[in-house]
Structure 1
Amino acid sequence: MKRDNGWIETLLEEAHNERMHLLTFLKLAKPGWFMRLMVIGAQGVFFNGFFLAYLISPRICHRFVGYLEEEAVITYTRAIQDLEHGKLPKWQTLQSPDIAIKYWKMPEGRRSMRDLLLYVRADEAKHREVNHTFGNLVPEEDPNPFAGRYSDTSKLQPSKGLMNLKPIGWERKDVL
């Protein structure tokens, strides 16, 4: 056991956020027992494979997740465009489930499926940035740039929010 330079805090936040995505879409889709079993099985297989891969190379795993998150951003962007162009008629009047409204603190009048997709896409963009940044860093040496406070406000710095978002992540030289 050793110190992780503050990485676990951000990784736990990301895991919780991804869990909320899953729970939100489960509420919308209302899958049956067979589909739930398939999801659990897929998670079990992926978890074990990813665990072994992370033991070998955390940097490669973070890079891989960064690319998965990039694909998620593209997918949500396409879904938003399809919704706006009328290609998803059932989603036109669909409202966000209560779990999403509470989690994202969605204001009255901004609770449509389109609004939900915008929130989730923003989360995925942040996950992309975080994982690409962690892929650029050395886990054993570098502190978590998303957990720190920066005194030099004259240059852009990583943050927990969407300000200063870098799709390809922050390089070591920019955060050390």
Structure 2
Amino acid sequence: MPCNDAGDGAAVPEMVGGMLLHFKSLRRFEHSGGWIKALLEEAENEHSPIEWWATLRRKQFTLTRYTEFLKELDNGNMQNVPAPPIAIDYWRLPPNSTLRDVLAVRADEAHHRDVNHFASDLLYQGRQLKEAPVPLGYH
């Protein structure tokens, strides 16, 4: 699964796409099929992992892939320290959560993948996003 390391431009495509779709929708008085909201939510959701990864990097954690990070934790090569407050706040985790608990963010990453692939498949087929509303269960 891809990891969004701090500084790699994560959230930029979703933000740009959402804003462009928003302006196009306003100009043409068209509904987006829920894509404006979906893309902007994707951008926001990409932001928190970047912040907490940056927090970990400042503490000398240098791994940048979730799966590798989990292996290091599970093998005892890294200490399963308390989760950063930003992660606890964003994912509404219990106050005593650890890094291992935060790595539930992998589900978010899988969700990003699915939404982005759905959108890119539509565009590859020469269709517009509004032709196929955001998949059910998105939110």
TM-score, normalised to structure 2, is 0.63
1:106 counterpart (93, 103, 113) = 93
Q: Measure the CA separation in 1 of the matches of 2:129 and 2:99.
A: 41
Is 1:80 the equivalent of 2:65? Answer: no
TM-score, normalised to structure 1, is 0.51
Q: 1:96 to 1:130 in 2, by over 3 A?
A: same
Q: Report Cα offsets for 1:31-74 as digits up to 9, x if no partner.
A: 8xxxxxxxxxxxxxxxxxxxxxxxxxxxxxxxxxxxxxxxx9xx
**1:127 aligned partner:** 112
1:140 deviates by 4.8
Q: Where in structure 1 do 4 or more consecutive aligned residues deviate above 6 Å?
A: none
Q: 1:140 to 1:29 in 2, by over 3 A?
A: closer
Q: Measure the CA separation in 2 of the matches of 1:30 and 1:78.
A: 18
Q: Measure the CA separation in 2 of the matches of 1:139 and 1:98.
A: 40
Which stretches in structure 2 are left out of the alignment for 5+ residues?
A: 1-23
**1:139 aligned partner:** 128
Which stretches in structure 1 are left out of the alignment for 5+ residues?
A: 32-71, 147-157, 162-176
**2:34 aligned partner:** 6
1:24 counterpart (34, 40, 52) = 52
Identical positions, percent: 37
8 Å Cα contact 1:21-1:120 kept in structure 2:
yes
1:93 deviates by 3.4
8 Å Cα contact 2:35-2:130 kept in structure 1:
no
Q: CA RMSD in A?
A: 2.3
